[in-house]
Amino acid sequence: MKLYQKLYLSFASVVSLMFISSVIIWTTSQTLTDTQTEIETDDVPGVIYYMQLNTTLAEIETNLLSYLAGEESSKHEFHKAHERFHVVLSDLKPLESATISDRDKMQKIADLSQAIKSQVNTHVFNVFKPSMQKSAFSMVDQLENQQAAQLSRLLNRLKQEEFDDAMRSGDLQETLADDLPGVKLYFDLFNTQAMMIASLTEYVTGELDEKASFEQASIQFKNHLNALRPLEKRNQEIRDLAEVEQLFKAIYKDAQSVFEQYDPSASEQAQQIVRQLRGTHFKELKTILNRSTDEEKSDSLSALTTLSEGMSFMGNVIVIATFIAALLSMLIAYKLSNSINQRLNTLLTVSKRTADGDISTPKLEPKGKDEIDELAHASNDMTSSLNNLISQIGQLAGLVNVASEEIARSNDSISTRSQASSEQSTLIATAIEEMSTSIADVARQSQDANTQASQAKELALRGGKVVDQTISEIDDASQAVQKTSEQVINLGELGAQIEEVMGVISSIAEQTNLLALNAAIEAARAGEQGRGFSVVADEVRTLAERTSQATNQIVETVQTIQQKTTHAVNAMQSSVDKVSGCMHSAQQAGNSLYAIVDSATSIADMVQSIATATEEQSVVSREMALEVVKIEESSKSTYDDTQLASVEANKLAEQAHALSSSIGQFKVR
């Protein structure tokens, strides 16, 4: 049997075991999936729906109680909660329709909820109106705070007036017959009015017999009012009684409106109906819903227990199947590896000996027909081929060794001759190189001389131009100095004119000073009348003195300027004479520079001719040197090639010896 067939058979047994365990797990998984589906689609939703019904039923009950407490908006919330109850019930019905008892239970829940809605609408919402109750309470509060309060204040005032009249009256007969009975009747009216309001308030809170009490108190109020009329004769008293009667009639009218519009028994009747519903329908519904919720919870827990047990069973199957598969795999691996390792170790030993050069091992004798036995046959063929190949290589290595030695000797002879030729070429090239260097030096020096001659020529030309420019600038400077001298002379003349003007100003200042002195004398003669004029004369005299001093300073300054101007004119005249001398010297220097330019031009031409000839000789010598260098390089290349061939021949000989030595290490049959 082939090795791969053994492996296939082993893996097939393991796979079969895993397949069997997978079938068991799949079957169990399907059962658990059905259980899980039932939990997800029936048990858990059933619990949730029953809890929602319980919550919604509690909302219905809460809204109904809130309505009785006066929250009329709770009526709308009651109907909305009832609708949500039936929506949840319709979602629950498909889950609770498997048995007749479940269907009967769903119908029972629906009937009870509808009965609650019907009775509440008929006996609560249609009978009792919180808005009417609030309106009645509001009317009673308004009546008590307005008409009743106004009537109470009026009766108190009238009672106090009667009492004050009794206290002020001096007629005892009038007091006993009029004032004191009036005080008592007003007091009775006040108490009767309070009894009417109290009866009305108790009526709206649910005391139906208080309506008769209100009527009786009203009759008493009328009787007291009629008894009071004969005692009140004054106009103001008659008007007060009329106002009391008017307020009484308003109170009585509003009370009759309360009696007609509001029936307190409706609230009690509605509360009685709600108490009955809570004790019957609500209680029965809660019992059914709680029991159903517990049943669904029990079913869910039972299904979860089954699911948990199934998962544990699958886990056990997986563990057992894995253990058996691992044990079987280990047994198969041991058998196969033991069979393979023995033969592979034999092949490995033969391969290592072959790698070490020992090919003399006997042939292997495989007994089977699998891949390892075929590998043993191939190893036998390989060792036989290696024996033949190594024998042939040994013979060829000996022939290569002899040939390489002959090549090495020929290369040594060629190398010696090439080296001699290269040395002679080197000597010739050296001589030509020295000659070429000398010619190049001459050419370079000639070129430098030519360059320096050209530079001298250019410098001389530039010097001539500079001299011409200098002459022109000196001429301009001479003219400028001449003009400056003339202007300085004019400045001296202006200084003389300024001195004359200053003399006139000084004369005016002296006369002004004399006039101021005369004015001061006249002011002194005038006494107090000339005091102001004396002050002005003093100021004029002071100004004249300052003007005279300033004029003297200006005259001194102008005289100094005239002296400096005279010196400047003399210095400028001397500068003009010197500039004329410089112009003459510069013209002579320019003529000399132009003569130098002509000489430098001739020298530059001759040096250029020498440099050209030297350059041509340098080019020829360089070409000769290049040809000799090429010959030398060719000789060196030949020498290098022979040396390289000699080295390679020696290497070949060494490799042939090494190959012979390596082949000698092999042991052949």
Q: What is the pLDDT of residues 121-154, one digit of tens each?
A: 888 888 777 767 677 777 888 888 888 889 889 8
Q: Check residue 111 and give its pLDDT.
A: 93
Residue 593 binned pLDDT confidence (cut-offs 50, 70, 90) = low
Phi, psi of 358 (to 5 degrees): -95, 100
Q: Check residue 83 and give its pLDDT.
A: 92
- Domains, the chain, with CATH or none: 3-126+280-329 (1.20.120), 130-265 (no CATH), 372-638 (1.10.287)
The distance from CA 514 to its chain's CA centroid, rounded to whole angstroms, is: 100
pTM of the model: 0.38
Amino acid at 260: E
| Sequence-distant (≥ 6) Cβ neighbours of residue 299 within 8 angstroms | 42, 43, 46
**b/e map of 507-517 (b: 16 or more CB within 10 Å)?**
eebeebbeebe
- pLDDT over threshold 90, residue 562: no
- Other CB atoms within 10 Å distance of the CB of residue 644: 12
- pLDDT over threshold 80, residue 287: yes
Instruction: For Cα atoms 650, 656, 661, give the angle at the middle one, nearest 5 degrees.
Output: 130
- pLDDT over threshold 60, residue 193: yes
- pLDDT over threshold 60, residue 254: yes
CA-to-CA dists, residue 75 to 53, 71, 282, angstroms: 19, 8, 17
In the predicted model, what is the mean pLDDT of residues 489-502?
65
- Other CB atoms within 10 Å distance of the CB of residue 203: 23
Check if the beta carbon of residue 648 is closer than 8 Å to that of residue 400: no
The DSSP secondary-structure symbol of 669 reads -
In the predicted model, what is the mean pLDDT of residues 414-436?
62
Alpha carbon distance 386, 352 (integer Å):
14
Q: Check residue 665 and give its pLDDT.
A: 63
In the predicted model, what is the mean pLDDT of residues 573-592?
66
Alpha carbon distance 188, 657 (integer Å):
160
In the predicted model, what is the mean pLDDT of residues 350-355?
70
Q: Check residue 315 and give its pLDDT.
A: 76
Residue 75 binned pLDDT confidence (cut-offs 50, 70, 90) = confident
Q: Check residue 613 and give its pLDDT.
A: 58
Q: Check residue 141 and give its pLDDT.
A: 86
Q: Check residue 454 and give its pLDDT.
A: 73
pLDDT in tens, 50-60: 888 889 989 98
The mean pLDDT of the chain is 74
Range with lowest mean pLDDT among 208-212, 315-319, 414-418? 414-418
- pLDDT over threshold 60, residue 628: no
pLDDT in tens, 496-532: 666 676 676 667 667 767 766 776 676 677 766 656 6
- pLDDT over threshold 70, residue 174: no
